[in-house]
Amino acid sequence: MIRELKFLLSLWKTNLAAAMEYRATFITQSLGMILNDGVYFLVWVIFFDRFKDVRGWELADMFIVFGIAASAFGLVGMLFGNAFNLSEIITGGRLDYYLSLPRPTLLHALASRVVPSGFGDFLYGFISYAASGQFTWDGLARFVLAVLLAAAVFTAFLIIVQSLTFWMGTGGTFTMLAINAMLTFALYPITLFNQAARVVLFLVVPAAFMGAVPAGFVKAFSWSTLGLMTLAAAGFLAAAILLFHLGLRRYESGSAIQTEV
């Protein structure tokens, strides 16, 4: 465990060095994303200004939900940037590189890229929480924990969806759809959905674990919510790792020319 952590730290350091080769791009993308998130959220500000609340869901809740989703999304991009293009890595035969080195293939592949705009998203999430009007210091600690667990569920979901590439042969469009579904549903007030739809949001596209559930936890501590989030993170991660390794047996490599950036 410590060995893998040391390896991850070196990998992240190398990643950051690679991203810093283009410092201006890095800074522009990060700042650009903060602006982008802000403008996107403006729609909700206007919406709640008109309707005040949607079945008990208020603007303050939106600030927290948006904060968790943005920070979790950004964190995945910062630490496991390849989670967004695992499918391309599989179809392009680029797993060869990770498979020829003595490290856990999935972890190595995921952590080998940093998405510069992820830093912007990550930071914006905290700004959003601070602006919610419900900021407290212990709330912040819960926010950090909620972001970590939401990021774990999101990473697992991305791995599960893209591992299907081993069976389907391609998966690019499917991945985009899955990412969009996850974000859209995570950002909608959960009070809008009926029981059946909520089952989907908890189990099929686990958006509830990236939005409503962690937001509730940030607002008020509860052992049962924390337990549910931890269980979801562990369960989805276990399923993701299992599916990826089952798929690996079907991996076909390829002869496309690749570079490790």
Partner 1 sequence: MPAIEVTSLSKTFRTKRKAAGLGASLRSLVRPEFRTIEAVRGLSFEMEPGELLGFIGPNGAGKSTTIKILTGILFPSGGEAKVLGYVPWKQRRQLAYHIGTVFGQRPQLWYHLPAIDTLTLFGKIYELDDRQTKRRIAELAEAFEIEDLLETPVRKLSLGQRMRCEVAASLLHKPKLLLLDEPSIGLDVVAKQHIRDAIRTMAAQENVGVLLTSHDAGDLEALCKRVIIINHGQIVYQDKVSALKRSFLTSKLVEVRYAQQVGADFRIAGTETLKVAKERYGVKLRFDARITPVGKVMAALSAAGTLVDITISDPPLEEVIAAIYQKAENRE
In 3D, which of 90, 236, 218, 88 has the Cα closest to residue 154? 236
Length of the chain, in residues: 261
Task: Choose which of 2, 5, 21, 195 interacts with partner 1 (CB under 8 A).
Answer: 21
Q: Which residue from 35, 101, 176, 199 is in contact with partner 1, where contact means CB under 8 A? A: 101
What residue type is 258 in one-letter code?
Q
Closer Cβ to partner 1, 138 or 260, answer by number: 260
**What are the residues whose beta carbons fall under 8 Å from the beta carbon of 52, sequence distance 6 or more?**
58
Compute φ and ψ for 254, nearest 5 degrees.
155, 175
What is the phi/psi pair of residue 205, to 5°?
-110, 95
Per CB under 8 A, the segment of 1-9, 23-31, 135-143, 148-156 that binds partner 1 is 1-9
Q: CB of 242: closest distance to partner 1 in angstroms?
A: 17
Q: How is residue 154 written in tokens?
A: 């999101």
11 binds partner 1 (CB under 8 A): yes
Is 1 an interacting residue with respect to partner 1 (CB under 8 A)?
no
Q: Which two three-digit tokens encode residue 172?
A: 């690019």
Is residue 178 at the binding interface for partner 1, with CB under 8 A as the rule?
A: no
Using rule CB under 8 A, residue 97 touches partner 1? yes
CA 188 to chain centre: 17
Report the residue number, 2 or 220, with the smaller CB distance to partner 1.
2
- Alpha helix stretches (DSSP H) within 92-222: 95-99, 105-110, 117-130, 137-163, 165-168, 172-187, 195-199, 212-219
Please identify, among the stretches 7-15, 130-138, 185-193, 220-228, the one whose residues bind partner 1 according to the rule CB under 8 A. 7-15
**Segment contacting partner 1 (CB under 8 A): 43-51, 88-96, 118-126, 187-195?**
88-96
Instruction: By CB under 8 A, tell whether 135 contacts partner 1.
Output: no
Does 253 sit near partner 1 (CB under 8 A)?
yes
Q: Is 71 exposed, middle or buried (0-12, 13-18, 19+ CB in 10 A)?
A: buried
88 lines the binding site for partner 1 (CB under 8 A): no
99 binds partner 1 (CB under 8 A): yes
Pick 44 or 174: Cβ nearer partner 1: 174
Shortest Å, Cβ 107 to partner 1? 12
The reply on whether position 252 binds partner 1 by CB under 8 A is yes
Residue 78 CA from chain centroid, whole number: 10
Q: Does 111 bind partner 1 (CB under 8 A)?
A: no
Taking the complex as a whole, the smallest distance from the CB of residue 159 to partner 1 amounts, in Å, to 19
Task: Answer yes or no whether residue 22 interacts with partner 1 by CB under 8 A.
Answer: yes
Q: CA-CA distance, 185 to 187, in Å (whole number)?
A: 5
